[in-house]
Chain A
Amino acid sequence: MIGKLLRATFVSLILSPMLLVAMHVLAFQLNFAHYGIYMTLYNGKELSIYTIIKWLLFMEEDALIGSNLVSVILAWSISWYAASDWVKDFRAIIFTPIIVLLVGILYFAAWRHAQIIFYFPEILYIFITSWVVEVILYIKYKIRKPKTFFERLEEYGMTFPEEYKKPVKVPTRCPNCGAILYSGPDFCWKCGEKLSLIQKRGD
């Protein structure tokens, strides 16, 4: 559990600032400001690795003040979802955002010496919306069970006898002659009987 949480936290900590920066660049390129959506982090500045790293670490003042609420929710939701989907754990969905927030506070307070002020309606809004988005996605994922390997093969138009899909507990014995078998062969080494057919009949 702790390992999964750490992995999910790590992924979302990396992913969320990256997504945020990407969304701001996109917003500028698509001229969102024209529609009244202000995402001012990028603003057509000259891009360099240095500035991108600074944005990712929220070292630029713009990073803190220029982030639109919707973009923050989106970045957080997507990154948390990606992280919890990777570790495939419902608990990760619930706890990862909390850990990410704590790490964020620690980072800003201890290293950047920033004054942490919680604007409660906003922070709640971000959290609740992100959680809801994630839970909806997770439930949808749960309801729509991922396709099994065999279902995916069938999508390719490949079909296989049912007995191929079942593991054979080895060693086993040939149902016809009793010879010991250390694998699941199609024929018995001793009597030559077609084993898959027998298993099918046995099913």
Chain B
Amino acid sequence: MSTNAPLLKIENLSFKYFKGRDYVLKNINLELHEGEFILLMGPSGCGKTTLINTINGLIPHVIRGIRKGKVYIEGEEVGEKDLKDISTKVGTVFQDPETQFFTLTVLDELAFGPENIKLPPEEIEKRIDLAVKATGISHLLKKDLMSLSGGQKQRVAIASALTMMPKILILDEPTTNLDPRGAVEVLKTIKKLRDETNMLIILIEHKLEEVSKYADKVIVMNEGEIIAMGHPREVYSNPQLLYQLGIRPPWSAETIIELKSLGLINGENQIPVSPQEAAEILEKEIRNLDLKIDPLELDFVKEDLGYYESLKDKEPVIEIENLWHQYPDGTVALRGINLKIHRGEFIGIIGQNGAGKSTLLLHLIGLLRPSYGRIKVFGKDVTKMSIAELSQRVGLIFQNPDLMLFQNTVWSEIAFGPKNIGLSKEHIEERVREAIEMMRLKGFEKRHPRALSRGQRHRVAVASILSMRPQIIIADEPTTGQDYGASKKYLELLERLNAAGATVILVSHSMDLIARYAKRVVVLKEGRILLDGPTREVFAKEELLATTDINPPYMTQISRPLRKIGAPTILKLEELIELMVKIKSVEIKYEKRY
């Protein structure tokens, strides 16, 4: 598909924001062609967004700074062209589609761009028609933008970029704020564009498992420089490089590399770029084996045994009895939830947007009151507890830390809760110091919380909850928009708090995080509990999960072929290794036997 002349050429590009100390982009050289699908990755703050802003012309036309070097699109330098002309060649879709909507209805939004460049009505109609077909949103045309789901909004944003018929389409983390169903919708649209158009697509995305198979090239950035570039198989074959940057390579590549290095699979297998490819490799490995695995011989299965049963001897900390909730607009968000959560549990709550997860959580912290039914926290009816009383027992960490930060210094932010419940100065200080220590915020005490990086802001938000010493910690989508390194640290902290006795409720769209950390999973669907059980058992019910568009964790998908020989559902890489060791040793015995 590629032609020889590059569509996008970047020469010795460096950029520094006026207020910044250092160059954010350092001597970037890049040549990309028509029809290529590029996956751009790097840790937070590595310069990805700045790079795309130099391509779509926001730098230097809107965002000012010191720019050195050249950016050419079809041989024309971006700095020398008008932004309006660049916008006909480069379309950008941002993380939050709402930030780029100007109108009220889908049709108006799609017409907005072409109208602004004074295209005749027939041409506008033609372009809208093409964009609508490419993104599959014909049924949404007359709808109000605000009435759309996250996935639909993002597809409208893509369609409105397409109406400008760009040569380059840039997508900046388009699925970050979406639930699995919305993410699938958007990724399907991106795949369709890749297959059916000749655009150069540049995608920044953390969901490497989903997009790597489409990518022609992966570009890895760090500290403003391109440090690796090549086909996904090539780039993922050096996972150490990605680990150093706090990026986790796709589970499929990581798993096969790990198994290869341990000699558990054939070393000649190529690096997979999707769970399906990795599963095929494992299938090949066991194809000719005549063996049956007894799950009860596996240590990780033995560890699970009896755990769930043993919960009944533990003290219930949350008891929900036939909880219904109807919002003032008539929407019934919860429809008869009965649930018991025990002290010390690490429980994962999953489900699509609108399944009732947030409504349920808001009941637990007293911000919503049941329309019908009852909730008891530590045996006491929440309707009889004040918010202050409840907040000492239950702490909710919001998805967006900014919603929780309103004080002028980190110290006062963390001290706010304890002060409000009337603790003495000494006790407040003790709690704040303890929270600062736990969240590694020493040295930031006098800083303004909003002036910190997102990761640091998240830590301040968690510290402000920890200073209340809640016995129940609820984390709502804690890792959204964070790179792997930051997510891992965050969840390890929750794990430590859980080990110290706190009950942790984790709400996430990342099945891999849930699989790794939660011991029990509750699946919500349309305000009801669809499934509730031990994590391994819940993720084994793939057909039931599919009814709510939930895919099992990638490790479960990768190891699916092993179920044919009786293997249990695999949730973690360590478990797969243990299983493969078992399989290999069985194979050796098998060979010896005959």
Contacts and interface: CB of A to CB of B under 8 A. Distances in A.
A186 B338 CA distance: 11
A164 to B, nearest CB: 4
A182 B311 contact: yes
Interface stretch (A35-43, A98-106, A152-160): A152-160
B373 interface: yes
A185 B324 contact: no
A103 B515 CA distance: 65
A160 B373 contact: no
A170 B373 CA distance: 14
B532 A183 contact: yes
Contacts of B338: 167-168, 170, 183-184
- Residue with the greatest number of chain A CB neighbours at <10 A, chosen from B330, B338, B341, B534: B338
A202 B525 CA distance: 24
Nearest to A163: B336
B531 A189 contact: yes
A171 B372 CA distance: 21
Contacts of B530: 185-187
A160 B340 contact: no
A156 B324 CA distance: 15
Contacts of A168: 322, 338
Interface residues on A, range: 20 to 34
A183 B529 contact: yes
B534 A189 contact: yes
A156 B532 contact: no
Contact of B308 (A153, A180, A183, A187): A180
Interface stretch (B409-417, B504-512, B537-545): B537-545
A190 B537 contact: yes
Interface string A182-198: 11111111101000000
A170 B372 CA distance: 18
Interface residues of B, number: 36
A164 B324 CA distance: 10
B330 A189 contact: no
A149 interface: yes
A144 interface: no
A184 B336 CA distance: 8
A201 interface: no
Interface in B333-381: 335-342, 371-373
B309 interface: yes
Contacts of A153: 326, 332
A186 B522 CA distance: 11
B341 to A, nearest CB: 8
B284 to A, nearest CB: 30
B209 to A, nearest CB: 26
A166 interface: yes
B67 interface: no
A182 B372 contact: no
B332 A189 contact: no
B312 interface: yes
B210 interface: no
Contacts of A167: 321-322, 336, 338, 373
Interface of A: 149-150, 153, 156, 158, 160, 164-168, 170-171, 179-190, 192
Given A180-B312, A189-B541, 10 more contacts: A158-B332, A160-B336, A166-B322, A167-B322, A179-B533, A182-B339, A182-B342, A186-B528, A187-B531, A189-B533
